[in-house]
Amino acid sequence: MKQSLMEKFKKELLEISYLGSAVAVLHWDQEVNMPEKGNDLRAKIIGNLVGELHDKFTSSNFEKLLLELNKKFDAGKLNDEDSCIVRETWREFSREKKLPLNFVKDLAETTSKAQMIWSQARVKNDFKLFLPELKKIVELKRKEAKLIGYKGSPYNALLDTYEPYMGVEEIEMIFSELKDFLIPFLAKIKKSKVKINSSILKGNFPIEKQIEFNKSVAGKLGFDFGSGRLDKSTHPFSIGFNPQDVRITTRYKKDDLLYSVNSTIHETGHALYEQGIPTEGFGTPLGESISLGIHESQSRMWENILGKSEIFWQYFYPKLQKEFPGQFGKIKFEHFYQAINTVKSSLIRTEADEVTYNLHIILRFEIEKDLIEGSIAVEDLPQIWNDKFREYFGIKVPSDAMGALQDVHWSGGMIGYFPTYTLGNLYSAQFYETAKRDILNLEKEIKKGHFEHLLNWLRKNIHIHGKLFSAEELVEKVTGEKLTSKYFIDYLEKKYSEIYKLK
């Protein structure tokens, strides 16, 4: 009987996931292939499928099954796997149930309009144009928090969508340690006598050759092209329809090879996670990634800790030189390594280096938290942004377009998303330290191009579990400690003290 109830439930979940996969294919096609005029009908086709999905997920039949199983869960009568399935589905279901249809529609319409207006406001460098929209969004997100319910800060209710079970208090503590390190560390780097010439990376790289090189890197890191693709798109992203079909996209600049290579390594990190989740779990939370932060830990471990390391390029640099001899043939490894690790206060988050990146995130996190808690007013955002920016980076923001208007997240209603980027960095450093302890000669092997040891370790310790553990549980289980900023700070300090010859 118990079995049969669970089986019925899994069948429902599977059908919902089939619809979800179909939606994902339609989205991917829209970004990568769709001709421009196809947009209007595509929006309707996707909207219709999302509606079907929502109807299934909130149907009384589904609710009945879930309620019955939830009783068993509360009574402790389910095994670990089934507990995970019921617990995580219940989380999502109860969240969805708490948001009335009118609210959901209002938010969707508001953010859809806001994104258009934000995009104009950014072009015109006119924050006032965007202000009424952002005010409405902040109001709606405060309302969302209220509808969902929270302990402590209302920001917790929003954060929970992106980083489940994580509290704002914990983030504040960790980010504040990080900030206390970063600001003086950046000041030290600025005073360093080491001057890096990063212009050696600029040149003329035919796109076709770049694509080829990117594919070879992704493949070498373990991306399975039998279960995935690498394509071009305006905004790089990765999307897994299921572990057997995971798509990465990259964007290219003709004069900047590393721009596409970094982006590909980052997305490959995401894709390796998606390809590593067990297919048997497809359709249930056992077939889903844990959180955005854990996802980002994978992309950033490959992109930064590996992809900007000496050991990584000791293997790949000779290959790069061979493919692009005119550009790199005569450039010393040391200078290349320095160039890809230049630290510099800069205005745009997506172009920031490993050190300053996290200050961009901390700034955004502090502001959006205060907006949701109501301790600052939306009107004051540009001023607050610019003041903080000067304090953290030591530079003046010349325009809102390059300041408070630069990211798409707020116009899209994605408040609570930003901290997951830095959480990803913290997780990645903590995981990597453990991997180094667990795997014999890990870095020696990487130098020789053996990335499979690390990948297997990630598969076995992280990917395989789906959502069986929360991020917090996983970190403790894998590393033996709670999440801490220590490993990431140590990593940055050691690496950049060497590069910038700091005492």
Question: Annotated catalytic sites, by residue?
Answer: 267
Q: Considering only residues 4, 37, 330, 440, which one is a binding residue for a second copy as defined by CB under 8 A?
A: 37
Single-letter amino acid code for the residue at 53: L
474 CB-near residues (< 8 Å, 6+ apart) = 290, 294, 462, 465
In the region spanning residues 154 to 183, those forming contacts with a second copy, defined by CB under 8 A, are none
Q: How far is the CB of 22 from a second copy (least distance, A)?
A: 5
Q: Considering only residues 2, 5, 7, 41, which one is a binding residue for a second copy as defined by CB under 8 A?
A: 41
Site string for a second copy, 265-304 (x = CB under 8 A): --------------x--x----------------------
424 CB-near residues (< 8 Å, 6+ apart) = 292, 293, 294, 295, 296, 297, 298, 299, 300
Q: Considering only residues 2, 5, 33, 149, which one is a binding residue for a second copy as defined by CB under 8 A?
A: 33
For a second copy, the closer of residues 9 and 282 by Cβ is 282
CA 53 from centroid of its chain's CA atoms: 25
- Cα separation of 403 and 415, whole Å? 17
| Contact status: 34 vs a second copy (CB under 8 A) | yes
Cite the DSSP H helix spans in 374-499. 381-393, 419-438, 442-447, 452-461, 471-479, 486-499
Question: Contact, 487 vs 435, CB < 8 A?
Answer: no
Q: How far is the CB of 18 from a second copy (least distance, A)?
A: 4
| Contact status: 252 vs a second copy (CB under 8 A) | no
Q: Considering only residues 9, 62, 241, 496, which one is a binding residue for a second copy as defined by CB under 8 A?
A: 241
Q: Considering only residues 2, 5, 7, 38, which one is a binding residue for a second copy as defined by CB under 8 A?
A: 38
| Contact status: 21 vs a second copy (CB under 8 A) | yes
Could you tell me which stretch among 30-38, 142-150, 309-317, 483-491 binds a second copy (CB under 8 A)?
A: 30-38
Hunting for tokens 């086709």 — which residue is that? 45
Residues in the interface with a second copy (CB under 8 A) total 34
Could you tell me which stretch among 18-26, 117-125, 288-296, 459-467 binds a second copy (CB under 8 A)?
A: 18-26
332 CB-near residues (< 8 Å, 6+ apart) = none
Question: Contact, 289 vs 274, CB < 8 A?
Answer: yes
Q: Which helix (H) or strand (E) holds 253?
A: none
Question: Contact, 224 vs 177, CB < 8 A?
Answer: no
Site string for a second copy, 191-230 (x = CB under 8 A): ---------------------------------xxxxxx-
- Cα separation of 38 and 40, whole Å? 6
Residue in 398, 395, 455 with CA at minimum distance from that of residue 431: 455
- Cα separation of 417 and 256, whole Å? 29
| Contact status: 244 vs a second copy (CB under 8 A) | yes
For a second copy, the closer of residues 41 and 123 by Cβ is 41
| Contact status: 31 vs a second copy (CB under 8 A) | no
Tallying the residues shown for the chain, one arrives at 503
| Contact status: 129 vs a second copy (CB under 8 A) | no
For a second copy, the closer of residues 21 and 386 by Cβ is 21
Cα distances (angstroms) measured from residue 235 to each of 61, 128, 242, 253:
39, 27, 21, 12
Binding residues for a second copy, per CB under 8 A?
15, 18-19, 21-22, 25-26, 29, 33-38, 40-42, 44-45, 48-49, 52, 224-229, 241-242, 244-245, 279, 282
